[in-house]
Amino acid sequence: MSSPTPIHPPQRFLFGPGPTQIDDRVYEAMSRPIVGHLDAYFLQLNEEIQQMLRVVFGTENKLTFVISGTGSGGMETAISNFVEAGSKVGVLANGYFCDRMTEMAKRQGADVVRLEKAWGEVFSDDEAAEFIARERPRTVMYVHAETSTGAMQKGKAICAAAHQVDALVIADVVTSLGAMPVQVDETGIDVAYSCTQKGLSCPPGLAPITVSPRAAERMNARTQPNRSWYFDLKLLNDYYNLSHRYHHTASISLFYALHEALALILEEGVQNRWERHSRCHAEFVKGIEALGLHMLVAKPEHRVVNLNTPCVPEGVDETKVRKTLLNEHGIEIMGGFGPLAGKIFRIGVMGPLATEAHVAKFLQRFGETLKGS
Ligand code: PLP
């Protein structure tokens, strides 16, 4: 082969659903020399990551750490540890990632029952409670911030109804963590998992997870071992926190990155960070509506603040818009898929790009591109 291309990636503004823009401090942290994955230095950083994650998750859960894998690895960890073959699982299904959860639960041999909504809609407290009381599942699953639609599903009533029938609740907070309040303990979530490349503004590759004492008890009482060895939380807890016996070789550089990203979040203050994302979302919606577009998710209180889904106006070719934005302005956004293919744009405003100045610049470029399309 001819000599490999030197790595000089193009300058991009990542306004998609993820990966998102990363602070220079995170890049710098990743370039520091690696140590061994059982080195005392790594174990100390890992301990600090766990402490910072508890703040961001809004939890006191002792079992709070990071899985080596992307958000889907977090999903697989939650499902393989807390869904047993032959058990009943109730899924509140209103988007693509609910379907992925369903598929994973089926592969664990679960009997999956679903309450369905059109993509972009959310379940009312009563609908969720009635479904759970009727089906009496062992585990309930929902997606807090559905990245395929931009809809935000509240969890408190789901958790209350699930606990009434002694079910555990698994919540996907892949897109919301770090950008919106997740509040695991206050909401009553038993198991929540996320990723690093969205609200936490880190490169992809790790999946934070947190497990309530109630869920840990259920896990310890399992009669069959987890079918997945790699995602077995008991083995992982032993490696990270107890004996520190080798399980797998954690990605040291990604842990450095996550440590720095979480430090940045804590320096800003989680509340301030949520407010910043909320403010920028409001600015974004105002600007997008001024351009004549409307949001797929009709009610403002049902919207994910860091992932906006305006509808594609009549006669506009969304693929062409996205290509022009990328090729002429280095701006990445995404389109819809599944039932929303060609119908929505998916535009993330998060992390370092969640500022009034970036939103204004984006809206200007987006408006010009729409006009020319
Ligand atoms: N869950 C949700 C809500 C997501 O948006 C995504 C990715 O976009 C995932 C799970 C899977 O995460 P990953 O692509 O990091 O595996």
Task: Tell me the per-residue pLDDT of 220-254, one tens digit each, with 9 for 90 and over.
Answer: 999 889 999 999 999 999 999 999 999 999 999 99
Of 265, 281, 313, at which residue does a domain stop? Answer: 265
> 238: exposed, middle or buried (C-beta count within 10 Å: 0-12, 13-18, 19+)?
middle
Q: pLDDT grade, residue 186 (50/70/90)?
A: very high
Helices (H), the chain: 24-30, 40-57, 71-82, 96-107, 125-135, 156-164, 184-187, 213-220, 233-240, 252-268, 270-290, 318-329, 356-372
Of 232, 265, 298, at which residue does a domain stop? Answer: 265
Q: pLDDT grade, residue 111 (50/70/90)?
A: very high
299 pLDDT more than 90: yes
Q: What is the mean pLDDT of the chain?
A: 97
Residue in 99, 141, 175, 191 to alter for ligand 1 test, most ligand atoms within 8 A of Cβ:
175
- What is the predicted pLDDT for the residue at 23? 97
- What is the predicted pLDDT for the residue at 261? 98
Q: How remote is the CA of residue 174 from the centroid of ligand 1, in Å?
A: 6
**Domain shared by 259 and 282, yes or no:** no
**Domain shared by 206 and 349, yes or no:** no
Which residues touch 312 (CB under 8 Å, ≥6 apart)? Answer: 318, 321, 335, 342, 343, 344, 345
| Any domain includes 16 | no
**Domain shared by 43 and 164, yes or no:** yes
Residue 103 CB coordination number (10 Å): 12
**Domain shared by 246 and 361, yes or no:** no
Q: Whose CA is nearest to atom 8 of ligand 1?
A: 147
**Domain shared by 129 and 170, yes or no:** yes
Answer yes or no: pTM beyond 0.85.
yes
Which atom number of ligand 1 is nearest to the Cα of residue 146? 3
**Domain shared by 196 and 283, yes or no:** no
- What is the predicted pLDDT for the residue at 100? 98
**Domain shared by 259 and 334, yes or no:** no
Report the CATH number that the domain containing residue 312 is assigned in CATH. 3.90.1150.10
Query: Number of folded domains in the chain?
Result: 2
| Any domain includes 5 | no
Residue in 20, 119, 174 to alter for ligand 1 test, most ligand atoms within 8 A of Cβ:
174
| Any domain includes 37 | yes
Residues 11-25 pLDDT 10s: 999 999 999 999 999
| Any domain includes 12 | no
**Domain shared by 183 and 225, yes or no:** yes
The domain in which residue 334 lies consists of 270-372
pLDDT > 70 in the chain, percent: 100
| Any domain includes 161 | yes
| Any domain includes 1 | no
373 pLDDT more than 90: no
Of 265, 292, 323, at which residue does a domain stop? Answer: 265
- What is the predicted pLDDT for the residue at 1? 84
| Any domain includes 100 | yes
Instruction: Calculate mean pLDDT across residues 333-355.
Output: 98
Report the CATH number that the domain containing residue 112 is assigned in CATH. 3.40.640.10
106 pLDDT more than 90: yes
372 pLDDT more than 90: no
**Domain shared by 209 and 87, yes or no:** yes
| Any domain includes 259 | yes
**Domain shared by 223 and 274, yes or no:** no
Which atom number of ligand 1 is nearest to the Cα of residue 195? 15
**Domain shared by 323 and 200, yes or no:** no
**Domain shared by 173 and 230, yes or no:** yes
**Ligand 1 pocket residues where CB is under 6 Å:** 17-18, 70-72, 75, 97, 143, 147, 172, 174-175, 195, 204
